[in-house]
């Protein structure tokens, strides 16, 4: 590796059907790297790699073309679509030994590329993890902004250690990436894993921009699944909640039983169906809810014990 004065920096960007944004993103990232090299801030071996997550459009042929035209652009093609988190992991683990630090960034230019330099300066001053944090969410829809706020608050309540308003825009030093390589979980939630690794961290702030082109690959359904995965992978709080709900209901049932016995004793028995049928429905509902949460965790255990590989690499271009 190069010395700390001019480190090799790699930028890793997962892409799924990004033919509309890639021509622009590759040119921008290449220019930024070339500029930092020219100003002697980073090594000329620095690069940006696009990880094609099994795209169905022309993404890979664009990556191949850009890799041959632009000095600092590389490409990695996965065998199939594995999702943003695993595609990012594939890029990080494949290239961690070829750089002193890697920066992960979305391909759609929503993460402001101008803070890359700030991240590198912090890294050079000895910081291992630099988190990109969104200043405000003005460009997100009202709905996305508020569901995101709910998500971060929920995570905080459940004692999951994540950085507020940080998505997956961050720099990790090689030793952080080596630590990441030791996590074998299939249900990846990088925003939760990286803070648990530790080392010294810092934040840089940026404005989240509009998607450059194309559509979001994270519709509400996928966002909700992602958030739920984040909760269940890092917290047993929902299970605890089940226990608490169960206890409270048991307590009310005891009161009810006491009342029924008292009514029987005084001979004041009303043959009402309400008191019989309502609790039945109510308890049935609560039980199903609790089973559902238990089931989620069992499903998670199932997918983890299989220890399946998280991605396969098809090929790479330089």
Closer to Mg ion by Cβ: residue 30 or 110: 110
217 binds, among ligand UDP, Mg ion, none (CB under 5 to 8 A by kind): ligand UDP
- Of 7, 10, 83, 132, the residue at the interface with ligand UDP (CB under 6 A) is 83
User: Does residue 25 bind ligand UDP (CB under 6 A)?
Assistant: no
How many binding residues for ligand UDP (CB under 6 A)? 16
Closer to ligand UDP by Cβ: residue 83 or 132: 83
Closer to ligand UDP by Cβ: residue 12 or 41: 12
User: Does residue 108 bind ligand UDP (CB under 6 A)?
Assistant: yes
- Shortest CB 274 distance to ligand UDP, Å: 48
- Shortest CB 14 distance to ligand UDP, Å: 3
How many binding residues for Mg ion (CB under 5 A)? 3
What DSSP string runs through the chain? ---TTS--EEEEEEESS-TTTHHHHHHHHHHHHHHHHHTTSS-TT-EEEEEE-S-SSSHHHHHHHHHHHSTTEEEEEESS---HHHHHHHHHHHHGGG-SEEEE--TTS-S-GGGHHHHHHHHHTT-SEEEEEES--TTS-HHHHHHHHHHHHHHHHTT----TT--S-EEEEHHHHHHHTT---SS--HHHHHHHH-S-EEEEEE-----SSS--S--HHHHHHHHHHHHHHH--HHHHHHHHHHHHHHHHHHHHHHHHHHHHHHT-----SHHHHHHHHHHHHHHHHHHHHHHHHHHHHHHHHTT--S--EEEEE-
- Of 10, 11, 12, 14, the residue at the interface with ligand UDP (CB under 6 A) is 14
- Binding map of Mg ion across residues 91-120, x = CB under 5 A, - = no contact: ---------------x-x-x----------
Chain residues in the site for ligand UDP (CB under 6 A):
14-16, 18, 53, 81, 83-84, 87, 106-108, 110, 216-218
């Amino acid at each position: 590796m190069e010395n700390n004065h001019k480190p090799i920096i790699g930028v890793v960007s997962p892409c799924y059907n990004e033919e509309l944004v890639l021509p622009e993103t590759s040119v921008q990232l290449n220019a930024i790297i070339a500029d930092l090299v020219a100003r002697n801030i980073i090594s000329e071996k620095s690069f940006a790699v696009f990880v094609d997550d099994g795209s169905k459009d022309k993404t890979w042929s664009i990556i191949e073309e850009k890799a041959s035209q632009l000095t600092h652009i590389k490409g990695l093609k996965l065998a199939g679509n594995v999702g943003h988190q695993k595609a990012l992991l594939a890029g990080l683990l494949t290239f961690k030994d070829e750089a002193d630090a890697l920066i992960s960034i979305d391909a759609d230019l929503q993460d402001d590329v101008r803070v890359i330099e700030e991240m590198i300066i912090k890294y050079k001053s000895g910081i291992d993890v630099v988190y990109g944090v969104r200043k405000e969410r003005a460009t997100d829809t009202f709905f996305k902004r508020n569901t995101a706020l709910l998500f971060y608050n929920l995570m905080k309540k459940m004692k999951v250690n994540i950085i507020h308003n940080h998505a997956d825009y961050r720099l990790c030093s090689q030793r952080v990436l080596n630590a990441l390589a030791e996590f074998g979980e299939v249900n990846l939630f990088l925003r939760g894993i990286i803070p648990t690794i530790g080392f010294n961290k810092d934040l840089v702030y940026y404005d989240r921009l509009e998607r450059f082109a194309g559509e979001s690959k994270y519709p509400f359904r996928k966002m909700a699944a992602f958030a739920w995965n984040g909760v269940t992978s890092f917290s047993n709080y929902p299970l605890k909640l089940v226990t608490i709900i169960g206890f409270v209901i048991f307590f009310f049932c005891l009161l009810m039983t006491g009342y029924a016995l008292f009514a029987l004793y005084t001979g004041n028995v009303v043959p009402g169906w309400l008191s019989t049928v309502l609790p039945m429905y109510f308890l049935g509902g609560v039980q199903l809810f609790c089973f559902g949460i238990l089931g989620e965790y069992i499903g998670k255990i199932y997918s983890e014990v299989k220890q399946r590989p998280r991605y396969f690499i098809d090929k790479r271009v330089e």
